[in-house]
Structure 1
Amino acid sequence: MHWLWAIIVGLVLGVLARLILPGKHRIPLWLTALLGLIGGILGNAVAHWIGLGHTKGIDWVRHALQLGGAVLTIAVGTPLWARIRSSRKAT
């Protein structure tokens, strides 16, 4: 059941990241969820690294870092996806 929750959180983070980033993002929904999941894991790792992995109450800083990671992965992943798609069409 953890994997299902991870997919849902990844999708939410990915969609929020796409809303935050300006411009059009021509990536499929599955890639949005995957990049959001990777960004969430990255943000969670940073939170643990700086000592904010487990706190009492709502972990606002950890959630902000997860969203920041999702924004970063969407910002990097979108142009990579476009480059892969254009190179496939050229061949």
Structure 2
Amino acid sequence: MGILSWIILGLVAGALARWLMPGEDKMGWIMTMVLGIAGAFAGGFIGSFIGLGSVSGFNIATILTATAGAVILLFTYNKFIK
């Protein structure tokens, strides 16, 4: 997957993570999308590390993996940084 695909996937993952974890969030949409991009990278790394397969292409499995990574990062941010 190219870097542009990862960015687009991260934007989708960030939006889904924000939707899955409603509540007051002071960082705004832009930072949530940046967190989604980081979550896409983290989710892809963790998914390939634990044996879920490589993250390639733009399909439902990669969206779920990236969203899971974004949710984990968003949860961590809300619990420890905020």
Bigger drift between 36-45 and 5-14 goes to 5-14
The structure-2 alpha-carbon separation of the partners of 1:53 and 1:72, relative to structure 1 and needing over 3 Å to count, comes to same
Q: CA deviation at 1:4?
A: 3.8
Q: Which amino acid aligns with 2:54?
A: G
1:14 aligned onto 2:14: yes
Aligned-residue identity in percent: 26
Q: CA deviation at 1:59?
A: 5.8
Flag structure 2 segments of 5+ consecutive residues without an equivalent.
none
Q: Which amino acid aligns with 2:44?
A: N
Q: Which residue of 2 aligns with 1:63?
A: 63
Q: Distance in 1 between matches of 2:55 and 2:5?
A: 19
1:33 aligned onto 2:33: yes
Q: Distance in 2 between matches of 1:54 and 1:17?
A: 18
Q: Distance in 1 between matches of 2:27 and 2:74?
A: 9
Q: Which residue of 1 aligns with 2:54?
A: 53
Flag structure 1 segments of 5+ consecutive residues without an equivalent.
84-91
Instruction: Return the index of the structure with the highest Cα Rg.
Output: 1
**TM-score, normalisation: structure 1:** 0.66
Q: CA RMSD in A?
A: 2.4
Larger RCO, structures 1/2 (Cα 8 Å, 6+ apart): 2
**TM-score, normalisation: structure 2:** 0.71
